[in-house]
Structure 1
């Protein structure tokens, strides 16, 4: 069983946040090959601020196996500041009821490809936890951008998504922005508010 914790950097033990930056480096830099400017072994950017909310999944040995970053769109957020062209003709959101979801990962899917059913279950479960945390924060909609295949996977998980504009190339790969509708009631139980 996975443990899910949520909170901002100030609510986390420094060791947990440090483990998060190492996890993100392993996933996004080493495994996925993203060309991000960061120190070796730590992936952080200008959107990892004191007000940023993180949702983490940890296994029985307390190793991080999943992460997500949530930022309200009434403050600077990744899509709005770095990739606004992906929105096409659609205006960028700026609301406490719309949050950006970024840096989502479930390492169990990357580590255990042979066990696809348990990995699918864990990733779906974790995504629902992330949506539940966003709902608790007051979000009624999330905005995200990713490869088109990831948006389709979310729909297969039962997440209500809607593509905003046509895919565009980022670093020679197609990327599409999309809404994730949360609605009026949470779709997941709240995450535990543990810090360590």
Structure 2
């Protein structure tokens, strides 16, 4: 049974409620992941604390389009606590490394809208890294998603071998961010500039 998690102050924000609800629809309802659900509406786990940061993309009416959670790697995160067996060598970590988790594309979009939302969020992740001194992203992905990420045009490589876990083929990934990253996204046809705001969990209640 999933463990219960405490509701963060982020639920006082409409944007955050939309994101956590979208995560529940995608990861729990659609993909059937065994994850905690708060109030039968919001997918949240113990990593959704004050140290987590989020990118949330909304449409003109405030509805969720896509989002991602960034976890600091010099603090507890998924790869080092839950999936260390996916890494063959040392896990990239430190103040300039973030773990991308819960990359979520809203289900209430058609294929074209989802593709645009995906590309805008990928671009925002790259631009945010360049603006803030992030040099690396890590993450855990299903094999099919990893194969997509590899084609985005940035420098992405596996951290270990594919592992079969509860019927899912999982792999750890490592993305390097440098001055060639945006050109790579452009060449691959991914680059879609969009202004997004990164909000720390502690500040979430101030976002309306």
Q: TM-score range by the shorter chain?
A: 0.7 to 0.9
**SS in structure 2 at match of 1:122:** helix
Q: CA RMSD in A?
A: 2.5
Query: In structure 2, what is the equivalent of residue 65 of structure 1?
Result: 65
- Within 5 Å, which residues of 2 pair with 1:29-68? 29-39=28-38, 40-68=40-68
Residues 99 and 134 in structure 1, CA contact (< 8 A), matched pair in contact too = no
Query: In structure 2, what is the equivalent of residue 22 of structure 1?
Result: 21
Structure 1: how far apart are the matches of 2:167 and 2:85? 15
Structure 1 residue runs of 4 or more that deviate by more than 6 Å after TM superposition: 9-12
**SS in structure 2 at match of 1:111:** coil
Query: In structure 2, what is the equivalent of residue 191 of structure 1?
Result: 196
Per the normalisation by structure 2, the TM-score is 0.77
Residue 171 (structure 2) aligned to one of 166, 173, 176: 176
Per the normalisation by structure 1, the TM-score is 0.82
Does 2:83 correspond to 1:78? Answer: no
Ranges in structure 1 where 5+ consecutive residues have no aligned partner: 1-8
* 1:15-46 superposed Cα distances (whole Å, 9 cap, x missing partner): 32222221111111112211113332111111
**SS in structure 2 at match of 1:66:** strand
Structure 1: how far apart are the matches of 2:20 and 2:120? 22
Query: In structure 1, what is the equivalent of residue 202 of structure 2?
Result: none
Shift of 1:92: 2.1
How many residues in Structure 1 have an aligned counterpart in Structure 2?
Answer: 183
Residues 150 and 157 in structure 2, CA contact (< 8 A), matched pair in contact too = no
Structure 1: how far apart are the matches of 2:46 and 2:85? 19
Query: In structure 1, what is the equivalent of residue 110 of structure 2?
Result: 112
Ranges in structure 2 where 5+ consecutive residues have no aligned partner: 1-7, 183-192, 200-206
Residues 57 and 196 in structure 2, CA contact (< 8 A), matched pair in contact too = no
Would the alpha carbon gap of residues 49 and 127 (structure 1) be closer, same or farther in structure 2, given more than 3 Å must change? same
Residues 52 and 69 in structure 1, CA contact (< 8 A), matched pair in contact too = yes
